[in-house]
Each structure stands twice: as structure tokens, then as C-alpha cells.
Structure 1
């Protein structure tokens, strides 16, 4: 049985994040980045996808201000890619944001000016779910990893 639950304990958020991100080296292959995400999910709104009480996906949402929140980190075990669970995690997060009068939802991802095929899938996923490219910024992750900011209007 699969279900999405809100997770409130920071130690559970960190553990889920660590386990899932380590299953996804194509997206999260830099140890320092994994450690930053594992620590950074603390204090965020966090929803996990469970299959038979085993976490297999998550989304962590960070409030930037009263109008805008962003996906801090998101990951789904590879066996669950393409099954619609990423979209369901997004919907649960968006419902919470709308109830709290948040107007914009954003995500930072690797820009399409970088040839990584895995991130092509990531950008397609976000575009399919209503996010549109806003700006590429090379100052966030450096010239070699250009950051694309994508946004979605929640109104």
C-alpha cells in the first residue's frame, strides 16, 4: 500500500533524505551536496511517499518569504520513477501552500545549457507539472553547473 505522509521529526527527514539521495547518484552524486541536503531539510515542510511503510520518495519545501516557497530537495527511488508519485508529492505540497496563501512555487535545477540527460528528464517533469523557466544563474552553483530557476503560479 502506497501513501504520502507529512513528516515532522527532523531526524526522520534527514534519514529519509539520506537514504533516497544515495539511491540517485545520477542526480545526487556529490557527497558534499548530499550532506548539505540531509542537514538542510531540517525545519522544512516535508512529505514522504511510503510503500508498505518504507519511505521511497520525498519532497522538502522551504519558505522563501510570505509569497514564495521552493522545492528544497525532492527524490523518488528509481523503481518508482514514471509512476506518477512525483506528481502526487507535488500536488500534496501545493495544496498545503495554497491553504497558506503562498502565491508562487519555485525550483532550482540544472539548466538545459548543461548536457546532462538525467536533468533533461527533471526539467520535463517540472514543465509537465506547470513550472516554467524563469532565469539561468551561473553564480549559484558555478559556471560548470548553471542553475535554472523554474516557477509556478499557484493562484
Structure 2
């Protein structure tokens, strides 16, 4: 049985290792390196099975109300075994402890071409309570439209005084 832990050291190396194993999602070395550097300053969680970090997630707080999943990736040989779901649970717990009401994620929006890996990513978020909120056509690059997804966290409603 696996467990979720906070990763405190070696974040960049772990990020490079997992992202490099996923060329269908992360094919550009500059993107991998930028991600590895960026997560050094973020809260990072890993899912561990048999002493192997099988999946990684970095969170970017946008407090007081939201926490973004800045990166989530699972080693290919562990896809479909629940690591991502466990990490999303950890993200929800982290967000709620921080007082946030929303969990957000950005992923590649549909581009009208056959890209089953990105459709699988979108379905993963759909299955786990995220709502497809908006497409930002040029946030990243004109050929990489961004799909912004939101998950309201249970039990966290705005107070009437705030309305």
C-alpha cells in the first residue's frame, strides 16, 4: 500500500526524473527544466510505493481562496493505479488547511487533433470533481491553449458577510 508524503529535498531532481519519463506530455527540455526550477520553492508531495516515488505534485497557493496544482505527473508504469487520486486528496487537504475554497489546475485544452494523452489528463480531472471553467487561447502559446479547471472544496462556502 502506498502513501503520500511531503517532499522537502531533491524536488528538482525528482521532477526531472518523472517528467523526462513522460515524453508524450513533456517533450521540451526547456519546459522540464523550468518546471524543475519552479517547484523548488513550492510545496511538493509525492506518492510512494515500495520505496519508489511513483508520482509527484507541486502546489502553488493563491491564497486566501485558491490553491493551484502547478504540476502533477505519474511515472508511466504506474498510470491508472491511483497515485494521482491520492495526490489530489493531499492537495485538497493542503488547500483546506490553508483556508482555501478552490483547487485549480491548468492543462492543455483540446486542439482538434488526436492527442489521447491530454484527453486522458482532462478526463482524470473530470473524474475527480474538477469543472472545465475557461480556455485561455494564448496564455502559454498560440499552439498550446490552456484549459483552466476548478474544483470547489467541500464544506468551504463564502460567508454571508463576504457576499
Specify if TM > 0.5. yes
CA distance in 1, matches of 2:91, 2:112: 28
Q: Counterpart of 1:96?
A: 94
Superposition CA RMSD, Å: 1.2
Mapped contact 2:104–2:148 kept (Cα < 8 A): yes
* Number of corresponding residues: 153
Instruction: Please tell me whether Structure 1 or Structure 2 has the larger radius of gyration of its CA atoms.
Output: 2
| Higher mean C-alpha displacement, 49-58 vs 119-128 | 49-58
TM-score w.r.t. length of structure 2: 0.89
Q: CA deviation at 1:29?
A: 0.6
Judge conservation of contact 1:110–1:119 (CA < 8 Å) in 2.
yes
Question: Which residue of structure 2 aligns with residue 39 of structure 1?
Answer: 37
Which runs of 5 or more structure 1 residues have no equivalent in the other structure?
Answer: none
Deviation at 1:132, TM superposition (A): 0.6
TM-score, scaled relative to structure 1 = 0.93
Alignment of 1:6-155 (within 5 A): 6-9=6-9, 12-115=10-113, 116-154=115-153, 155=156
Query: Equivalents in 2 of 1:6, 1:21: separation in Å?
Result: 18
Q: Note the C-alpha offset of 1:70.
A: 0.5
Question: 1:56-103 CA distances to partner (integer Å, 9 max, x unpaired)?
Answer: 211100012311110111110111111111101110121121122111
4+ runs of 1 displaced by more than 4 Å? none
Distance 2:108 2:138 in 1: 12
In the alignment, structure 1 residue 4 sits paired with structure 2 residue 8 = no
Q: Distance in 1 between the 2:140 and 2:7 partners?
A: 29
**Do the aligned partners of 1:4 and 1:47 also contact (CA within 8 Å) in 2?**
yes
